[in-house]
Amino acid sequence: MPLDSALNSLGFAKPPAQTRVVVAMSGGVDSSVVAAQLAEEGYDVVGVTLQLYDHGAALAKKGACCAGRDIHDARRVAEEMGFPHYVLDYENTFREAVIDEFADSYLAGATPVPCIRCNERVKFKDLLETAKDLDADCMATGHYIQRQMGDTKAELHSAADGNRDQSYFLFSTTQDQLDYLRFPLGHLKSKDETRALATKYGLSVADKPDSQDICFVPDGNYAKLIEKLRPGSAEAGDIVDVDGNVLGTHKGVIHYTVGQRRGLGIGGLADPLYVVKLDVDKKHVIVGPRDMLATRRVPIREINWLGDEKFSDMKERNIMVRVRSTRPPTDAILRPISETEAEVELMVAEQGVSPGQACVFYDPDSTRVLGGGWIWRGA
C-alpha cells in the first residue's frame, strides 16, 4: 500500500482528531468554509481573526475585512461549528508594517500593493508564528491558490479557477511558510462551489458579498487617506510634457498614477495624453502619448524565489510573468543579478508598468508559481 494512503487530507500521518489546524478567519465566506469543512472532517480546529484597524471606520464600510462586522461573523461561524475562536489585536503591527509603507510609497510616486505586504508581514508572519505557539500542525487560509507536493518539496501553484486565482498576491510566500500553510479551496473550479459548501454547512455568511478594494481605505479614496496620514502631502504643482513644457496644474502628485488618462484637466489637445512619470521632488506630473507607457525591461528587487535551482546560479530562464494583478501572464526572460535582484525582459512590451507593483514569476509549462519580486525604477 502506498505511503500516501496513510496521510490525512492535510498531509499528516495521523487521524484528523489528532491534527490541530489554525484557520485564519477574515469573516468572509472563503475562510469560513475552510474552517467549517475542516471541523466537519474532525480536525482540531482553532479559528483566529486579526483585528487590523479601527472598528468604527470599518463598521461604516461594506466589503471590508478584518474589523467590525467581520470579526462578529467569524466568531459566529466558530460558534455554529463548535470550535474555539480568538481575536488578536494587530492594529499597531498592521499600521507599521502595511499602512505606513503604503503612504510612503504613494508619496514617492509608486503604486503600492498593500495586500501583498499584509500577507507577507502580518498574516504569514506574525499570525503563522501564533499558530505555531498554539502547537498547531499547520495553518489554513481561504486563499485561492494551490499547494502541491513536488519531487523534493511543497510547491505553489495557481488556483484551478483562473478568475479567483490569488497567486499575484501571494508570490512572497517563502518556502518555510509554504511548508506550514494549507489552502483547501485552491482546487475548486468556481466561487459558486465555495458558496454551495457554505450553504451545505449552514453558515450564516453563505451569501455574504466578497470584500472589495483595500480594506483600510473606507471610501476608495487613496489620496484622502494619504493626506490624513501625511499632512501637507497634497502640494500643488505643474503638469508638464516630456520636454518640460507646462500644460496645466495639479493639486498634488498623490492624486495621479502612471497610466492615468482621465482627470488631468488638460483637454483640447489633438492626441490624448497619459501620465508617464511622477517626479515627486519637482512636484511634476509628466504626461506623454500612450506609446511612452510601453516597457520591455523591468528591474526587480526583493525577490522571493520558489524554484528548484539556486536563483543566483541561473544565467537566464524563460518564464511567464504577471506585472499587474489584472493582467494575464506574458512571456519573458528572467536574468538574475544577485540573490534578490534581477531584470525581466518582456517579449511583448507592456504599458503602464509601475514601480511599487509586483512582478510574479510562473513556469511556462505548468501552473507552478516560481516566486516574484517588486518592480522599481532601477539604479
What is the residue whose three cell numbers read 506630473? 285
Q: Does 5 appear as a known binding residue? A: no
Among candidate residues 65, 66, 118, 359, the one labeled active-site is: 118
Q: Does 162 appear as a known binding residue? A: no
Q: Does 150 appear as a known binding residue? A: no
Q: Does 50 appear as a known binding residue? A: yes
Q: Does 26 appear as a known binding residue? A: yes
Angle at 274 between CA 270 and CA 278, to 5 degrees: 135
Sheet containing strand 246-250, edge to edge, reads: 246-250, 237-241, 284-288, 274-279
Q: Does 142 appear as a known binding residue? A: yes
Q: Does 353 appear as a known binding residue? A: no
User: What is the grid cell recorded at 338?
Assistant: 544577485
In a 10 Å sphere around its CB, with 0-12 CB exposed, 13-18 middle and 19+ buried, how is residue 151 labelled? Answer: exposed
- 138 as an active site residue: the answer is no
Contacts of 252 (CB under 8 A, 6+ apart): 223, 227, 233, 234, 235, 236, 237
Q: Does 27 appear as a known binding residue? A: yes
HSE of 291 in the Cβ direction (CA atoms, 13 Å)? 1
Question: Rg of the chain's alpha carbons, rounded to an integer?
Answer: 22
Among candidate residues 65, 66, 115, 215, the one labeled active-site is: 215
- Number of neighbouring beta carbons within 10 Å of residue 13: 10
Q: Report the SS3 class of residue 170.
A: helix
Q: Does 267 appear as a known binding residue? A: no
β-bridge partners, 335: 343
What gap in Å lies between CA 199 and CA 79, rounded to an integer?
16
Instruction: State which amino acid sits at residue 204.
Output: S
Stated as kind and residue range, the H or E segment containing 57 is: helix 55-59
- 66 as an active site residue: the answer is no
Q: Does 9 appear as a known binding residue? A: no
- Which segments are annotated as binding site for ATP? 24-31, 50, 142
**Binding-site annotation: residue ranges:** 24-31, 50, 142
Q: Which residues are annotated as catalytic?
A: 118, 215
